[in-house]
Structure 1
């Protein structure tokens, strides 16, 4: 009997684990409801007008007092809402549907294939594919409306077995009852960053399903041969450097998700006493078409919140600097990310470098919005400089990904160790109490047995006698 004939009746049942699937408003195409605000510092929206929830879609005053939600019965932790005698469910991030009945990542294990369904957040315009097979149309998911679907054969295609090896080094065969795939969810078709998703999908014969989604973090190999371009052939009063979080210039490639600083420096303050960054764009080096605007109209671009880790910071020390903290990212088809930024120097008495309060983030340091229309070329005498740098970011192999840990995982492990230690202490105390209790019980029993073995004292003057029975 083949292994498939053995496991066929077992694979028809599906269990889904999707606890790690979470909402993040900084992804492309994801937005906040009810005038909620998304910032670079948090994955959940900042809500207003009495709304709450991960996307500001929950109004506490609309929560229904009915325990059964008018017969709708919200599942998986969903909250029942009522409006004009109409009931609806507000779902937790990992689920969707009228009753929150569907997981955002689900797999149906069948006799010869796995059917995978993924429901991304927001107005999804990215792509979903099997890891390492992004250019193979047979390994790309199909858009079915709210969900993206793909059927994957256990033994053939999309990493199941290629020339005797797979990306897991575990070829499904007779005697092997575990089948796995790695699924990548890109929210932007051209850019891979820390907010994209990597899902490990498994089908096993013992009715256990393992779905382990995690952010695509630290997905890069450092290569000593890849150094950033730092050649200057002209003198610029305003410089541009890419630094690490300690303020040291980068000299090698970084990991996806590593925080780096785009730092602009006013080297010569004899002509200019101030400056600002009017715009900055990241694009795919080598002629690719991928790009993203980081700074626009002197403010952090909202669409860049997935890679920007904070507002622009200005330091008025000598020399003056403006820094923007970002999370390293790469374009899908190129490890080289180039930055092209325009800076404008301000002479004494020029007020165009005054602070600007941006609507979607914190402080910016640039021209007022009403003045921006006049900046074209150099019609008003403004001194504009275009500065460029290149950062190299390369992807890890799948074998090395499992070694990368999220800081929250470390925290969870620490809490787990503390919990286990406390439980062990409680168990030890209970064992000691049990030993003491058993000793006391046995001691009492022994004392009682000794008492029962002693002959009762005879009393003087008392004669034993029996009352005769009357026989009919």
Structure 2
């Protein structure tokens, strides 16, 4: 039985339509080739590819673009300059911007739409085009590209849709339906439908990004659709120096640092409590090692050699855990994974409490929550650790700070300059001394030679006459 070759070729020739480009829309056209007025696809000539036939295969050069293209973009080396050819879902110099984006906070959602170049239509909330308060602002980014943007209240006004227990129990999803109308004078089947949503998770979170986008493209009904979703994360973790500045680069064993847990905004929650915190070596399987620093909101006895005092809370309700940098024996990586409870103003479960026994902490130990509800967020961050820096006396010392390194380099520069000046002066002195000695020696040698010549002359005169001749004296009259 022969394989269905024709069927396979047909699948390969089908183009996945994502809805952002259609050459039948007003303001859009094919860069090369012709427009199929039935399906809106461009028929590209040989050697040309891309949604709008703007990708010349002969110009592809993957290493020509700096910075490189993102999100599947293709780098083209053209006579007018290198540029990225982007999939139609993305735009920007490096394809870094999605054409439909949403940024979620505790109270608002900000929707940004980048239509295709040549767009002269309308962007509005579905069935709210007559409400001026719902209009998008027309803006221009640093690259000169036009885009539409609007910030909406999550729960009220401008077509807000609130879904409780979605997608899971105790979650809340806030939606807006956006229309991209390509002809400013009429609605057509070529217009685009965007489903924008923000998800507030009530359960434990393992995804921390504030812009986790669902890139699924669907075509339902008469309008092409794009679903864009973002998860809202109310708490974040940052590894900092003791003074609160961010840590950059590798750190030495023994260096004092701190874990700082803070709320990203106070619209929904106004307090937090670190319930569990574990340090891991970043390996998997049988090679994985971990050290528990905090459990049930209390520091663990095994962590006394690592932690510096009790957990603290600052004026912004952020929680601070100070520690000395340590290192697992088989890796340079430390991964911190901590479970944090977030609380609203009426929730007392994040109030500072005393732990059982001798160890005190921010929270209660081994006690059930009043409602059994888990308002937890799992946050992560990591460090790269080098070995202990040691002095000649084998005592552990902290690595020099940036300004100390600068002072040391300045002192060394001065020493090198002074040393060079001294060496040059010594060389000049030696040369001058040598010249003077040679000159003095030469003069002495010349004087001795003259004296010897006079003695020889006198001796030869005396020897020729046999007796001394007196000099002849002439008298002039």
TM-score (norm 2): 0.36
Give the number of the structure whose alpha-carbon radius of gyration is greater: 2
Higher relative contact order (CA 8 A, sep 6+): 1
